[in-house]
A and B are shown apart, each in its own frame.
Chain A
């Protein structure tokens, strides 16, 4: 199927059927994967998915449908979208699809040919490098997945948007289990990259083994520490910070007034050490593309600058409500997996959230902490983005006393409120890493509570 032809056909057929405006999003994703089970490449997988998403607009009525076009034609899809638009209620907030803007850069700027061509046998060999490095008499790699996707999408609308972008995504998730005399420990490592060949699988394997074995000697934490500093590894801190900031600055949440940062542009909402950027053209970002999923050119948007809220993030729907321009944040794709992206409607969310690297190494940060905890891994780094509350179980952590790392601990919860913590001094590391749709370094937050079990 020719993606460009299909997108144009969907829009023109919609217009012929009376659509006042129409938008077609057509995507092809080809993925090779390997699943690791019990130290071996258990499943080799190859998949190709082509899907379309069509917005059919009748004035202020919007109908959306999607299809893989396996058992139906573009005409069937248009007919269905039209019937949905016809019965939809008018959305008074809808004014228009985005207009065409000049798009710069080549469509394949974020595409790595070698990664796109890697089949499951190449991935299996990469995985086995990791497994062999991580494994020992006491350590195994029971679970893992590595996949490399090449994706290409086209967006066409009635207002002249006709844009495409092509990129590659590599995702991996591996766990290691250490078992010594009945005591067990687990390590977790993820791979996020746009190029398979930028990933050091041996280093990942070493880290996995170190994590799993260090947990074995963890001591139960039985105290309750108040007002301590939590130093969070990039994987954990970026997930929490990304969830919080991403929710609070989405114009969707601002317009519906559920964001705690509604009407706060220009206000100081965090410590001066904190700056956050949304970068749709991030060099490392997995969402990087020439255009967003509405065909609007991507850009760099300063969200928080030295603690001051500078901007929200907009898709066209939410921007139009405030007579502003979209910031290129109308997205359907995800950073982890692009399969199924055609089936979702555009949502207003970050592309790649970046926190610029600071000047301090992790060791520097730890040396500045009188009493705290260094956390490499939570069960899952959750935060409630509406209230900022979090209480997360620690899986891999060491306590910090007088600037030094001490005992490895287990059975403890880190409790706090991230909206409050970011108002206190934040220490920002120099070790920026990619984790999902975030590129952030190690960060240290004050005002947290460590509760033993």
Chain B
């Protein structure tokens, strides 16, 4: 039995259905991300786990106990908010101690736990500061310590890094993941940032219009997207429309040429329209071992992105974007150059509707 179970969870706000038939099993100590665009229902689902919203239907179980009827303060859940939500009238130490005081823990235990938590977030020297005297990153670390101090069963993080600048986001997400691993706490992390989700999670739940589109490891989500939405939302993607040429041979007609596709075409028949996905990093300008597809193309755009050069090439009827590493020894291709694109037939992903 999973540690946290969401079964058939649904949420309606008056006539609008914001979460539909949400099913998820989370194992103890797992780090799960809810990933999706604004309004896809990820925060609402998180708030239902926290107890701030009541599901219209379905069950939420933590350690086998149905918590739907419990108030938020009865669920033993730690929550970190996007806006930090530190209590402005309390110092850092008082903020971290708040939940322990509410639980009626002895003074010595509270002091020891606060010191331990401030040590974990590496801010013991700021114990007597007020929230307004801290930077955004420091405030969010204190918020994390406060949520963890009460030793919750589940840790919920609602876009905790959204309000921070890019550099701090990267360092803080590594810190959050390290702390989560060290404590082994079951965690749900809401984000619309695919890079955050891919880099931190054991598994990702990609949500779209209130539905779960795919649940999988970052590797699965990125490399084998289950739907066209997942494919387009996670990472940069070439999406090419084609027509099935020969289902038995696994060929699809793209523009004026047939390309071999290793991905199964299922029950599709010849002449049927199909959407193919191809990651930019799967295509190269120079052949690599294992690549069995070569396509003649003409460069139409070159963008220098620092360590990577993004190239767009016309293959006749479609355009393919590819990423190639910047190397000072070999200058990038120029617009108008005729090139050959190399890829493996297994790199094509046939998208479900």
The reply to whether chain A is a binding partner of chain B is no
Q: Spell out B's residues near A (CB within 8 Å).
A: none
